[in-house]
Amino acid sequence: MSAHAATAHGHATHEHHDLGFLRTYVFSTDHKMIAKQFLFMGLFMFVIGGLLALLVRWQLAWPETPVPGLAGILTETGGVLEPSQYNMAFTMHATIMVFFVIMPILAGAFGNFCIPLMIGARDMAFPTLNMLSFWTTFTAGLVMLAGFFVPGGHAAAGWTSYAPLSSVVQYTGVNWGQNIWCISLFTMGIGSMMGSINYITTVINMRAPGMSLFRMPLVVWSLFITAILLLLALPVLTSGVAMLLFDRWLGTSWFLPSGGGEPLLWQHLFWYFGHPEVYILILPAMGIASEILPVFSRKPIFGYHAMAFSMIAIAFLSWIVYGHHMFVSGMNPALGMAFMVTTMIIAVPSAIKTFNWLGTLWGGRIQFTVPMLNALAFVSMFVIGGLSGIFMASTPVDIYIQDTYFIVAHIHYVVFGGSIFGAFAAIYFWFPKMFGRLTNTALGHLHFWPSFVFFNLTFFPMHIIGVGGQMRRIYNPLQYEFLQHQQHWNVIITIGAIGLGISQIPFIVNFFWSMVAGKPAPLNPWNSTTLEWTAASPPPHLNWGPTLPTVYRGPYEYSVPEESADFSPQTQPPRAVAGARRH
């Protein structure tokens, strides 16, 4: 229906919202459309980041053999990856996964989708800024991808881009690739700043009547806290990246000792951003799990306030632990000791969360739906990843395992086992509301179970080879005698990784097929209590009809004794209080 036709039908009484294709699907200011845009972007980048990981894995399992399908691209070597290309592969794998997969999906897509709908707002506080935020991030993504096509190849100094390796062209031979890495992250920083300002303002100012802070669903809490972390952490990276560009372009010496610079300065700046960043990656997933576990246990979340406060605690503590990435960097060892103490402390709020999730399951009526399975996978895999973090937190142990595959195992248990399973859970859970259609359950199981098994097959053995001493970021483990005997693990891991990749195919099929041909979704398919399920599926522009929902109770009122239904929506006034007040 074009704008013209609508007018012809005489909707004179109210403003109409037929904005045409461009304004509806491309330059949309509607938070739900922007959420979908972030989601598509993130999923697309996930395929690229994943395929890069498979490149890495191929090289590690069968070093210096032609990678299938690459003979046409790497013509000079007949498909064999060169060391510099290997470095480029894992650098871009990690950069893409962290900045252009997890952040867009968790903070971008679900931040946009959940915040207004779950606090009962019609849109974000600044819809246009919201649109700009997406397009800035999108541009950053394009710039990052463009780096693959410049002479000299893409950045190859690791996702951490330690100076001076990254600050002097001769050290890696990469010129434009590293510049593009900097420019892209600079742009991304601006984009996510716009987003986070928007989220914070929206949560503070735009809540529906009755939606007090402690009636907000925990996923909104988590996104709110994530936004604050993003807002404060990314500018630090931005400043570091600007210095790096100065060094590269103007010949200055922020990080070069010969000109009075300090190489460790980059590490301090990077990790001061980088550690809050890893919690930016996990907090939304924690929120998502806290959302999904109660729904499918038909039970209120265990310890709502503890859940909210532990996230706040994590956010605070995340600023003072960053030095645990630098235990053996040459930083003052006394500082290392201080960072060990704070790092140990930051495990406590995670412990609280873990046990509260278990408490939520206890005595529930657990329904093993696909989102629930993914949320349970999140909890269990996060526990494994978190526990491996304790090894590194202990400074003496970290001396040995730093920069080994033990760290790589830790990374992937928290980011894939944690964040990505969290993202899957969220996609399956909110898909009906997002697209108005149900996903296919059989395909969902076909995605979940192989993913779960192959995930563990891929990443669990990394602990073993890490303890055996295999370093990360090495091109060919067979160059080392002490690693020869565990090469079979590398083969197993790679087979697992390929299986993990193939397991994503049912997901992709399910996602797109359900989007166009899934069964139409009812308003509230999971019998959930939060506000988004009171809007139409998918919710129209401005989300609700003329009146906004009014909130009468907390977000997790399942199986309330006096009430017959096993869920009591937030909009439903408590019967016992009709008229009278408690106290």
Partner 1 sequence: MLNWWLPENVSSFGGDIDWLFHLIYAITAITGILVFVAMGAFLVMYRDRPGRRARYTHGNTTLEIVWTIVPALILVVLTFLSVPAWSKIKMSMPPTDFVVEVNAKQFNWQVSYPGPDGKFGTEDDTLFLDEMHVPVNKPIRVVLKSQDVIHSFFVPSFRIKQDAVPGRAIQAWFDATKPGKYEWPCAELCGFGHSGMKGWVYVHTPADYEKWAAENLKGGGTAPAQEAKPKS
Partner 2 sequence: MSGIGAVLDPPRPVTRRTNGRVPPPPPPTGGGDGDDRDREPRPRGLDNARLATMFFIGAEVMFFSGLISAYFVLRMGAAQWPPPLQPRLPILVTGLNTLVLLGSSVAMVRALRARGDHVRLVRGLALTGALGVVFLLVQGYEWARLVSYGFTVTSGAYGVTFYTLIGVHGLHVLGALAWLAIVLLGARRGRFIEPPATGLRACGMYWHFVVALWPILYVTVYLL
Residue ranges in contact with ligand HEA by CB under 6 A: 46-47, 50-51, 53-54, 56-57, 90-91, 93-94, 97-98, 102, 158-160, 278-279, 281-282, 324-325, 343, 346-347, 350-351, 354, 383, 386-387, 389-390, 392-393, 398, 402, 407-408, 410-412, 414-416, 418-420, 458, 472-473, 497-498, 500-502, 504-505
Q: From the centroid of its chain, how far is CA 31?
A: 18
Q: Residue written as tokens 């000299």? A: 152
Both tokens of 329, joined, read 């960097």
Least distance (Å) from ligand HEA to the CB of residue 432? 23
Among 240, 287, 417, 466, binds partner 2 (CB under 8 A): 240
Which residues have a Cβ under 8 Å from the Cβ of 267 and sit 6 or more positions away? 160, 162, 325, 326, 329, 331
What is the Cα–Cα distance from 581 to 583, expressed in whole angstroms?
7
The partner in contact with residue 391, picked from ligand HEA, partner 1, Cu ion, none with C-beta cut-offs of 5 to 8 angstroms by kind, is partner 1
Q: What are the backbone angles phi and psi of residue 471, rounded to the nearest 5°?
A: -75, 155
Both tokens of 336, joined, read 């290392």
Among 68, 72, 151, 330, binds partner 1 (CB under 8 A): 330
Residue type, 167: S
Least distance (Å) from ligand HEA to the CB of residue 96? 9
Binding site residues, Cu ion, CB under 5 A: 275
Which residues have a Cβ under 8 Å from the Cβ of 175 and sit 6 or more positions away? 151, 152, 169
Binding track over 486-525 against partner 1, x by CB under 8 A? x--x------------------------------------
Least distance (Å) from partner 1 to the CB of residue 91? 9
- Asked whether the bond before 569 is cis by omega within 30 degrees of 0, the reply is no
Q: Which is nearer to Cu ion, 74 or 232 (CB)?
A: 232
The partner in contact with residue 197, picked from Cu ion, partner 1, partner 2, none with C-beta cut-offs of 5 to 8 angstroms by kind, is partner 2
Give the count of residues interacting with partner 2 (CB under 8 A).
85
Residue type, 540: P
Q: Which is nearer to ligand HEA, 304 or 382 (CB)?
A: 382
- What's the sign of the alpha-carbon dihedral 71, 76, 77, 80? negative
What is the Cα–Cα distance from 195 to 112, expressed in whole angstroms?
9
The partner in contact with residue 24, picked from Cu ion, partner 1, partner 2, none with C-beta cut-offs of 5 to 8 angstroms by kind, is none
Q: Hey, is 567 helix, strand or coil?
A: strand
Q: Which is nearer to ligand HEA, 91 or 133 (CB)?
A: 91
CA distances from 156 to 84, 87, 208, 410, 549 (A): 7, 5, 48, 22, 51
Q: Which is nearer to ligand HEA, 245 or 414 (CB)?
A: 414
Torsion of CA 280, 284, 289, 290, to 10 degrees: 110
Stretch that binds partner 1, among 100-108, 201-209, 339-347, 514-522 (CB under 8 A): 339-347
The partner in contact with residue 275, picked from partner 2, partner 1, Cu ion, none with C-beta cut-offs of 5 to 8 angstroms by kind, is Cu ion
- What's the sign of the alpha-carbon dihedral 269, 271, 275, 281? positive
Binding track over 129-168 against partner 1, x by CB under 8 A? ---------------------------xxx---x-xx---
Least distance (Å) from Cu ion to the CB of residue 336? 13
Stretch that binds partner 2, among 164-172, 176-184, 375-383, 542-550 (CB under 8 A): 542-550
Q: Which is nearer to ligand HEA, 453 or 542 (CB)?
A: 453
Helices 405-412, 370-393: crossing angle, 10 deg rounding: 150
Q: Residue written as tokens 């600007």? A: 242
Is 335 among the residues that bind partner 1 (CB under 8 A)? no
The partner in contact with residue 54, picked from partner 1, partner 2, ligand HEA, none with C-beta cut-offs of 5 to 8 angstroms by kind, is ligand HEA
Is 356 among the residues that bind partner 1 (CB under 8 A)? yes
Q: What are the backbone angles phi and psi of residue 520, rounded to the nearest 5°?
A: -55, 140
What is the Cα–Cα distance from 119 to 70, expressed in whole angstroms?
49
